[in-house]
Amino acid sequence: MKSQSFVLSEEITRLLEAQGITVATPVQEEIIPAIANGQDVLAQSETGSGKTLSFAIPIIEQLKKRDGLKALVLVPTRELATQVAGEFVKFSAGKHLGIVPVYGGVSINTQAAKLRQANIIVATPGRLIDLINRNAVRLNSIRYFVCDEADRMLDMGFIRDVERIAAQLPAQHQTLLFSATVPKEIEKLAAKYLHNPKNVRFASTVKPIFLRQVYYRVTPEAKLDLLAALLGQERQLAIIFCNRKHITVKVSKKLTEMGIQARALNGNMSQPQREKVTDDFRREKFTVLVATDVAARGLHIDDVSHVYNYEIPKDVESYTHRVGRTARAGQKGEAVSLVATEEERKFFKQILFKYQGEITLKESGDVLVRTPRPAPAPMQGKEQRRGGEVPKGRRHRR
């Protein structure tokens, strides 16, 4: 990895180059040397900016197996814990560091046993507190404390848990806080726990050149028909966002009845259920995922060509997070918002103000007249697409 602000060891440079990573991102240029110099960090940076490696690389560089437990990374979801731990494993090959992901839904006894050899823990707050309460882990040796996706921690109600965990840490340690947005609550958290931090703010990665943003005014009665009509147009994978869990179930069922392969993803599902749905979506066993914000956090799938706001988010930050699920990895994407009620119009005014001139109004009547409703499909899945079954919507690579 080439950089003007830091030099990496030959071992980690070789591992990075093997993955095709040869040039540092702007986030990495700022953060890696700050961590290496012992500074606390407050970074506003979105998914896809290279933030995980920005904290993983300097931690890996400075740790040895014999050091014992030195690093703790808190993340909001099981999926993200698995992903971040995987990055630590990948780029520490040869150092034999003990890297342990910790999250609910699996055996706590197995995790407790693995923690005895841990150098780095990547954990969700709830399960880590359970392990602390069982005296299965002590955090008094931690040198690096990373709080990743802090705004999602806030959304999911984890901030009190984060503070309980922070109280277990030694007085001398580095705190590294990463967040896609920095609302007042996160600023207060940073002021409480960070000391003279390196403050790094990067603009949203939502770029008009890659992302087309449109919205439709529609009646509540016509909203589902409009969504189905839009989904029948050319696309790859699509994520439909709802504010409420029960609406994800309702919309996915209705779409399936209308011949569109759709599944729900929400916080009422068990971890194995969520993992199965996410994996099936990634493998394109179905093409439309209907999700809440919290459930979709940590979803990193490059082939999502469309995002639909079936229910309008109540703040601009959530909108930015949603539309950031498409137009990834240099591909083009489209974000579509369906504005139906007076309350939704009020929320969407804030979004329009923030994204001045970037979101275009379109006429829903033309779409509904032009696109017939799909016929019901008796079966689902790629392997069953034969005989009289309705094929999934046309796809194209943008």
More confident residue, 261 or 330: 261
State pLDDT tens for residues 113-136.
999 999 999 999 999 999 999 999
Angle at 284 between CA 280 and CA 287, to 5 degrees: 100
CA 298 to chain centre: 3
Rounded mean pLDDT, 125-153: 95
CA-wise closest residue to 266 among 286, 285, 249: 249
Number of H helices, E strands in the chain: 16, 14
State pLDDT tens for residues 6-31.
788 899 999 988 887 878 888 889 99
Q: Which of 13-27, 64-78, 383-397 has the lowest mean pLDDT?
A: 383-397
Residue 205 in this model has a pLDDT that exceeds 60: no
Percent of the chain residues topping a pLDDT of 70: 86
d(CA 43, CA 177): 6
Looking at the whole model, is its pTM more than 0.75?
A: no
Asked whether 275 and 282 are in contact (CB, 8 A), the reply is no
Go through the domains of the chain in sequence order and give each one's CATH number: 10-201 (3.40.50.300), 211-373 (3.40.50.300)
CA-wise closest residue to 176 among 67, 305, 32, 78: 32
d(CA 155, CA 153): 6
* Identity of residue 100: V
CA-wise closest residue to 67 among 11, 115, 118: 118
**Strand runs labelled E in 210-303:** 211-217, 237-241, 262-265, 288-291
Give the pLDDT band of residue 109 (cuts 50, 70, 90). Answer: very high
Residue 77 in this model has a pLDDT that exceeds 90: no
Could you tell me the two tokens for 2?
A: 């080439």
Both ends of the chain: CA-CA distance in Å?
Answer: 29
User: Given this model, what pLDDT does residue 398 score?
Assistant: 36
In the block, tokens 């095709």 appear at 20
